[in-house]
Amino acid sequence: MDTIARSVSHPYYLRSLHIPETIAGIRGPKATLELPQQSAEGVPPAVVGVARTYAPLPRPDLPPPPMPQGQSSADLYQSLFTRDEQIRKNLVRQTSLTRAAVVVGACPDMCPEKERYMREDRRRLSWFELDHHISQPGAPKVDHQRAVKEYNRSAADKAEDLPHELRPEPVLLMTMDYLVTCVMDEREGRTEMWYDFVWNRTRAIRKDITLQHLCSKGCVELTEKCARFHILCAYLLCEEEINVFDQKMNHENLTKCLITLTHFYRDLRIEQAVYCGNEAEFCCYDILLHLRDGNVLNLVEQYSPAIRQSNFIRFAVDIALAFSSNNYAKFFKLVRSPICSYLCACILHRYFSEIRTTALHVMTKAYTLSKPTSFPLTKFTEILRFENEVLATDFCVHFDLSLTKKMVKLAREFAHHPPSSLPALLAPSLVGAKRVNRRLGEIVNGGPLPLPPNLPRPYDSFAPGTPLAPPTPTRPTPPVYSDKDLTVAIDLILEEITRKELFSVAMEMLQNERDKSVKQATVSAFCESLTSECVGEECTSVAMATLENAQREWQVRENAQLLDEVAKVISMEIEFGIIIEQVSQVIIEGYEELVTMATSECDWGRVCGGGEGGRAGQAGKTRTTGETGFGKEAKEILGK
């Protein structure tokens, strides 16, 4: 890209592609930035307020795209894509380094027109870019004023960006002000999309700066805000999952921002004799990020004397010395001091677990010379600046230190785990308290927020008035009427109004009559139903009383009959028992009499011998077995 010069016949490209020294009046009106006056030491103080005004940039004089097949976002994108491909075919590549030109951005909007239609068609819009009034589930619609250019990674097979796809410095400043004032504080409830959106759009800003080889105070300000954003997220999102926030990638982007700033500061100081007010602040951040490097103090020697004498650098050097000498007490004391800013504390937060692990080793060696020592948990929490005793207890458990009655037992032999194994946790009292209720945008901006930018109307190749705009419907010429026609029309209108009024009055009267009849019918029906209900209830009560009386009488008669039958049955049973007793008595007496008679006759026969005695005995036997008068009587009684 750096060694390619382009020249096309269209005046837009003849005006846009020039050597950087000759394009000051072509990039459009620049934003005015009010900075404090330079101090005697050559380094102005930090910017505490920014007042910026935006002048509308000239619209790019682009060749018209071909007529789209329809009005959908896909059709409009295809039309713009065809135009850009035709422009690229007309580009003449220049391989001479001396004649190479730098691309000058000419996009007047925060997002190029073709990208807006492309991302709407492919549903790659962020929540912050949607037009929530017309968007529907499954059919997102872009808000052309709030859309911000998306970062796209450079690739060998990707076509180079055209001038109208790159944003000049004033547009980049306006975009950053929009992100700081309108998006930075919209994190609540949508952390994942918030971080992804701001990180991606700030990365696109840095890419546009790189592609145009810009180097100015405005570019320094943009890169400083990108660095502050990554420093802020390194602390605020430390507890998030890796699919929401990647700490390693965030650190890489922060390092790139600081490297770019180092180059900007040096180039502006050497080539333009321009000093940036926040150089000492970001040199301090650079030192704090490299505390683990052995040559961190060599960085300080490369700074100018004014930078080395600033409070930021002095604080960074003190922190570096405390960290390298394992002086954990001084380290936490410096973190708590007022000179440590909120962003400095956010950077140092990453070293808390490491410095506490080092402190544990130092305390173990110091307090356990001959035997294990018990150390109060409250004192342990205070020395290592834990938020509470619960976190201190978790730290001791992590290293297998025993606790009894809020006493930590320090021993020379304990579990040696790397500091990275400890979970990263927020530190509200040590770091969060330094924020002092400031908004995120105010912290990233480095001072009070400006007013939200008045976003201009986005460029539209298909707007009304352009050759590709849809035809505007023409209004037919109204006819001319004479006085007679007007009189006839007025009479007809009055007649129609009268007829409608009469009809409405008649309908109202009819409705009133209907309402009266309905009311009367309702009252009559209500009275009849009430009367029938009352009569029905009275008849029901009388019938129930009569039925109860009849049931009682029937039950009395039934009980009397039942008692008579029971008495008869009992009397018959008594009579039958008496008869049975009499019959039994008669049978017993007859049986005894027969036995007596039979016995006497037998005895007499044996005495008299055979002859008559034998015959008498035989006759007695015959009487005994035959039917006598007594046997008949017994049968009759048994028959009864």
Residue 18 backbone dihedrals phi, psi, to 5 degrees:
-140, 170
**Sign of dihedral through CA atoms 201, 206, 209, 213?**
negative
- pLDDT for residue 626 is more than 50: no
Residues 543-592: tens digit of each pLDDT: 788 788 878 888 888 777 888 787 787 878 787 778 778 777 877 877 77
Q: Enumerate the H helices of 52-168 as residue ranges.
A: 73-89, 113-121
Q: Which residues of 582-603 are buried (b: 16+ CB within 10 A; e: fewer)?
A: eeeeeeeeeeeeeeeebeebee
Cα–Cα nearest to 38, from 341, 339, 304, 273: 273
Torsion of CA 322, 326, 327, 331, to 10 degrees: 50
- pLDDT for residue 60 is more than 80: no
Q: State residue 284's pLDDT score.
A: 95
Q: State residue 590's pLDDT score.
A: 77
- Selection from 401-415, 435-449, 614-628 with the highest mean pLDDT: 435-449
Arithmetic mean of pLDDT, 324-329: 93
Arithmetic mean of pLDDT, 321-325: 94
Residues 143-179: tens digit of each pLDDT: 999 999 999 988 767 788 889 999 999 999 999 999 9
Residues 288-298: tens digit of each pLDDT: 999 998 888 88
Q: State residue 8's pLDDT score.
A: 33
Tell me what the pLDDT averaged over the chain comes to: 80
Q: State residue 161's pLDDT score.
A: 87
Give dist(CA 590, CA 284) in Å, integer: 148
Residues 183-197: tens digit of each pLDDT: 998 877 788 889 999
Residues 605-625: tens digit of each pLDDT: 554 444 444 444 444 444 444
Arithmetic mean of pLDDT, 308-321: 94
Arithmetic mean of pLDDT, 403-409: 86
Residues 2-57: tens digit of each pLDDT: 333 333 333 333 333 332 332 233 333 333 333 333 333 333 333 334 456 666 67
Q: Write down the pTM of the prediction.
A: 0.66
Cα–Cα nearest to 212, from 7, 9, 19, 13: 19
Q: State residue 27's pLDDT score.
A: 33
Arithmetic mean of pLDDT, 408-427: 80
Question: Please, are residues 431 and 346 in contact by the beta-carbon 8 Å criterion?
Answer: yes
